[in-house]
Structure formats: C-alpha cells, structure tokens
Amino acid sequence: MPSSAPASESLGTGLVVAIDGPSGSGKSSTSRGVAARLGLRYLDTGAMYRGITWWMLREGVDVHDPEAVAARAGDPAIVSGTDPLAPTITVEGVDVAEAIRGEDVTGSVSPVSAVPEVRARLVALQREAIAADGGIVVEGRDIGSVVAPDAPVKVFLTADAAARAVRRAAEEGGSDVSATEASLLARDKIDSGRTVSPLVRADGAVHIDTTPHTLDEVIDLVVALVEAVEAPA
C-alpha cells in the first residue's frame, strides 16, 4: 500500500477505534463522523443496552429486579447494522431505533445495564461485530477498558454537564434542558458507580473535552489520532 494512499483506502482491516464517555459528550456524532470519514463500520453499544431494555419492558420484566433481568438476558435476538450513515438496530426483528430513545427506556437503561448477565451477553455480541470484516468505530462506556482493551485508538470524550444537557435535549426534540441535565447526571452516577464495567477512562485513552469544540473539530482530532496510528512517523 503506497504511503500516499488516502486513509479511507488504507483502513478497514481490523482497525478498532474505541470511543467512550458519558451521555451527551458527543460520542455518537463523533463516532459516526469518524467512521464515515475513514470508511469504517460503526457500532453504537448504547443502542444495544437500550434495545435489551426496551425488550425487558415489553416483556413485563421488572427492570429493578436484577435476578429477573438476568434470567431473560439471553433471550432476545439483537441485530445491529453498522453503516455509519444509516445505523440500525432490531430486537426480535422489530426496528426499535426510535422506541429506544423514549423516556421509558432512558429511565430504565442504567439498572438493566448494571446486570452482569446483560453485559456478558452484549459484550459477546459486540466482540462478534468487532471481529467481522473491516475496521470499526465502537462507542460506549467500557469499549477501551473491557470490550476491546487492545484497540489501537482509544478516546475518552467528556463535556461540561450543561453543554451535554443542551445537546441531549436538542437530540430529544427540545426536551427541558434542566430536566435533561438532572437525568443525565443521575445516569452518569449509576454508570460510573456500578461494580461491573463502570464508566472509566481506559488505560491509554486520549481524553478530549469537547465543550469548546465544534463537532467537525472533534472529528478532525480523532481522525488525526487514527492516522497517527496507521502511519507512524
């Protein structure tokens, strides 16, 4: 491969870019933008935790009963489409892309994702997706620490809570910003404090505070990290 080849042609064989951080830090837009720019696949692991939560609620499982959740963790078929321009998620064949963004799922996803059996199931699915052909950008909370600790590029994105709330409220179609801030701080607390795979900055992860940056600037920063790994000086 000539060294002048554009990054999008030289990537794609097993490169893993792990992007972790709390809600509203800009993970999804950044991850999709980096994947699209570099011709990589994209996996939103938060959507998988939301998808299994949607299914537990639909099945009438008490999401605050870890044993009940654990007992059903292996049951639903969860399929993620990894095109960064049109990511998809189905649970038991149902397209849940919209439903998983609803308040009921958002309010229940933290206790469900704290159940070890849920994490074991989804981490196995995530590793299958990572192992399939082509490089991939994977976003979540534990990608650089647990799912793909050997990823050559690891990024930990953060942003001020107020900035995160403004972004998340806009994504949710203009919900109340202070209620959104309270909800994401509550989720951060559970996500960071849980015993299994808490949200932490992984060893070797590059910290980017996105607060002062535009989306394009953050994408540029991450693409530069990938290119530095692909073409060491």
Strand partners, 154: 18
> Site map for ligand DC, 162-191, x if CB under 6 A?
-------------------------x---x
Question: Least separation, in Å, of the C-beta of 129 and ligand DC?
Answer: 12
Binding segment (CB under 6 A) for ligand DC, from list 45-53, 55-63, 70-78, 173-181: 45-53
Binding segment (CB under 6 A) for ligand DC, from list 2-10, 41-49, 55-63, 66-74: 41-49
Does 42 contact ligand DC by CB under 6 A?
no
Does 46 contact ligand DC by CB under 6 A?
yes
- State which residue, 110 or 158, has the beta carbon closest to ligand DC: 110
CA–CA dist 25, 156 (Å, integer) = 9
Candidate list 32, 50, 164, 167; residue touching ligand DC; CB under 6 A? 50
Does 32 contact ligand DC by CB under 6 A?
no
Binding segment (CB under 6 A) for ligand DC, from list 43-51, 58-66, 127-135, 219-227: 43-51
Binding segment (CB under 6 A) for ligand DC, from list 46-54, 91-99, 171-179, 215-223: 46-54
Does 31 contact ligand DC by CB under 6 A?
no
Contact in structure between 141 and 20 (CB atoms under 8 Å): yes
- State which residue, 41 or 187, has the beta carbon closest to ligand DC: 187
Question: Least separation, in Å, of the C-beta of 36 and ligand DC?
Answer: 19
Does 109 contact ligand DC by CB under 6 A?
yes
Angle ∠(82,32,7) on CA atoms, nearest 5: 95
Does 26 contact ligand DC by CB under 6 A?
no
**Site for ligand DC, residues 114 to 133, rule: CB under 6 A:** none
Burial of 53: CB neighbours in 10 Å, binned 0-12, 13-18, 19+: buried
Which residues bind to ligand DC, rule: CB under 6 A? 23, 45-46, 49-50, 109-110, 113, 140-142, 187, 191
